[in-house]
Amino acid sequence: MYLAIATNTGALRIHYTLEGKGDPIILLHGWGQNIAMMKFISDHYQRRFQVLNLDLPGFGESDEPHHAWSVSDYADCIHTCKEQLGLGTPILIAHSFGARIALHYAHRYPTKKMVLTGAAGIKAKRTLRYYAKVYSYKLMKKLKANPSMGSADYQNADEVMKGVLVRSVNEDLRPLLPSIHTETLLVWGENDEATPLWMGETMEQVMPNATLIVLENDDHFAYFHQPQRFLAILEYFL
């Protein structure tokens, strides 16, 4: 199904599924993903909840934003979708980039509970190697070379979505975390390299109502690799 939402720069078409009856759950996938990544969660919970699973703008079958959105813009978009669909106060289940959106959403709008897995949002400390790469990249540009720098996510994105990614990764959400009182479950892969475990530990320390659970010997996609275990953990929490 598709939902048309209005923005300041024009309408966007959002691809989504809405299944089940009961209290609402909203699923927010990670960067470069789509609704397929969280379908197993929707399939499981639609028996007891009303589950909204959507392609975030710029991913899957949803339209791309007309300009480089901030994470806050994405949170506003989710709220607009929720309102247009007539959903109540939601439970948010989010992975990685989707967790950034969930944190902004919970900071600004009523949220019943959150489950964040491999949550992005804490800016990593820059190493000397990072700055060496940056200066090398700038030098190559001045010499009119064609340098290739950045993550695969950045290299594979078009100009608008590159702008979204840059704005996202340069925002440190730590100042928001102490003010988010929503009951939150943090689920982390022990060997996560994209959002290292220390980030989850930091979130647990500074968020007033957060609890961290670690999935041993797994990575950034631990929730997807261990779906039955992930769902069992959610059952206790929800």
Of 43, 44, 69, nearest to 57 by C-alpha is: 69
Residue 71 lies in a domain: yes
Sign of the torsion formed by the C-alpha atoms of 1, 87, 231 and 195: positive
Residue 139 lies in a domain: no
- What would the pLDDT profile of 6-40 be if each residue is shown by its tens digit? 888 789 999 999 999 999 999 999 999 999 999 99
Residue 79 lies in a domain: yes
Residue 133 lies in a domain: no
Residue 30 lies in a domain: yes
Residue 210 lies in a domain: yes
Residue 202 lies in a domain: yes
Look up the CATH number of the domain holding residue 21.
3.40.50.1820
CB 23 within 8 A of CB 50: yes
Radius of gyration of the chain (CA): 18
Q: Count how many domains the chain has.
A: 1
Mean pLDDT (the chain) is 90
Residue 37: domain span: 2-124+172-237
- What would the pLDDT profile of 34-61 be if each residue is shown by its tens digit? 999 999 999 999 999 999 999 999 999 9
CB 229 within 8 A of CB 197: no
Residue 140 lies in a domain: no
